[in-house]
Structure 1
Amino acid sequence: MILRLFCLLFLYFLGNLVSAQQWTKALIDMCDASVPGSCGPYGWCETRKSGNRCHCQIGRMGIKCL
């Protein structure tokens, strides 16, 4: 009985968390492809539909490559 109540409460709160998130088409650019070195000395800027991202030599994408 307690397990069933716990599961119902968990699903209720999970449903509220998922419904609170909304899809947005905002682009987040983390680099500028027209500016050389905007990803630091070891990375390059990749243009994507979701926004520009830095591609680093070790494969991580972020703001700058160190």
Structure 2
Amino acid sequence: MSLFLPPTASSMPEWVRKAATTVNKLLERQTFTPLGTAPANPRIGDGYFDTSDNKAKIWDGSVWQPLW
């Protein structure tokens, strides 16, 4: 399973492409690193599973964005 990026993906912000790549890798492994607090010094596209609210999150460069 992977995220579909439309043909116009080149016009998307870089963080969206990086986040999609990270999500695809996480889905391939079918696991997210469960943590009680967000990782320190994340890079755009980094992800983890937040055990405090039971949501997978991706770093967009300024905030952790929940995937659902």
TM-score normalised to the size of structure 1? Answer: 0.26
TM-score normalised to the size of structure 2? Answer: 0.25
Larger Rg belongs to: 1
